[in-house]
Amino acid sequence: MLNKLKLYKNKKVFITGNSGFKGAWLTVFLKELGADVIGYSDKIKWEKSIFDYNTINSIKQYWGDIRDYKNLENAMLEANPDFVFHLAAQPLVIDSYENPFDTFTTNINGTLNLLDIMYKKFSSVPLIIITSDKVYDNCNNEIKKFSETSVLNGNCPYSISKVICELISSSYFGIRKNMRVRTVRGGNVIGGGDWSKNRIVPDLVKSLINQTTPILRNPNHTRPWSYVLDTILGYLLVGLDAVNSKKSFDSFNIGSLDNENKTVLEVTKLFLKTFDAKNIKIENNNKYSEKKYLNLDATKARNILSWSSMVKFDELILQTANWYKRVLKNESPYHVTKELTKDYFKLINKKDRIYA
Ligand SMILES: NC(=O)c1ccc[n+]([C@@H]2O[C@H](COP(=O)([O-])OP(=O)(O)OC[C@H]3O[C@@H](n4cnc5c(N)ncnc54)[C@H](O)[C@@H]3O)[C@@H](O)[C@H]2O)c1
Structural domains of the chain in order of their starting residue, each with its CATH number: 2-284+293-355 (3.40.50.720)
Around 196, how many Cα atoms within 13 Å sit in the side-chain half-sphere? 21
Task: Using alpha carbons, list the distances in angstroms from residue 147 to 41, 42, 187, 188.
Answer: 31, 33, 12, 16
What pLDDT score does 169 carry?
A: 96
Q: Is 173 within 8 Å of 166 (Cβ atoms)?
A: no
Rounded Cα distance, 189 and 134, in Å: 13
State if residue 127 touches ligand 1 by the CB under 6 angstroms criterion: no
State if residue 23 touches ligand 1 by the CB under 6 angstroms criterion: yes
Find the 94 Cα to ligand 1 centroid distance in Å: 14
User: Which residue, among 34, 37, 36, 38, has the nearest Cα to 5 in the 3D structure?
Assistant: 34
Q: Which pTM value belongs to this model?
A: 0.96
Find the 276 Cα to ligand 1 centroid distance in Å: 31
State if residue 106 touches ligand 1 by the CB under 6 angstroms criterion: yes
State if residue 261 touches ligand 1 by the CB under 6 angstroms criterion: no
What pLDDT score does 288 carry?
A: 73
Letter string b/e over residues 143-161, b meaning 16 or more CB atoms within 10 A of that residue's CB = eebbebebebebbbbbbbb
What pLDDT score does 356 carry?
A: 47
As a residue count, the chain comes to: 356
Give 124-170 as a DSSP string: TS-EEEE--GGGB--TT--S-EE-TTSPB--SSHHHHHHHHHHHHHH
Gyration radius (Cα) of the chain, Å = 19
Task: Please give the number of the atom of ligand 1 that sits closest to the Cα of 41.
Answer: 34
Please count the other Cβ atoms lying within 10 Å of the Cβ belonging to residue 169. 23
Rounded Cα distance, 117 and 114, in Å: 5
In testing the pocket of ligand 1, which one of 14, 15, 22 has its CB within 8 Å of the most ligand atoms? Answer: 22
Rounded Cα distance, 216 and 280, in Å: 7
State if residue 35 touches ligand 1 by the CB under 6 angstroms criterion: no
**Alpha-carbon dihedral of residues 234, 239, 245, 246, nearest 10 degrees?**
140
pLDDT tens by residue, the chain, 356 residues:
788 999 999 999 999 999 999 999 999 999 999 999 999 999 999 999 999 999 998 999 999 999 999 999 999 999 999 999 999 999 999 999 999 999 999 999 999 999 999 999 999 999 999 999 999 998 776 667 899 999 999 989 999 999 999 999 999 867 778 899 999 998 799 999 999 998 999 999 999 999 999 999 889 988 888 999 999 999 999 999 999 998 999 999 998 766 567 899 999 999 999 999 989 998 876 677 777 777 889 999 999 999 998 999 999 999 999 999 999 999 999 999 999 999 999 999 887 766 54
What pLDDT score does 167 carry?
A: 97
Find the 93 Cα to ligand 1 centroid distance in Å: 12
Phi and psi at 266, nearest 5°, equal -65, -40
Rounded Cα distance, 295 and 61, in Å: 35
Find the 317 Cα to ligand 1 centroid distance in Å: 21
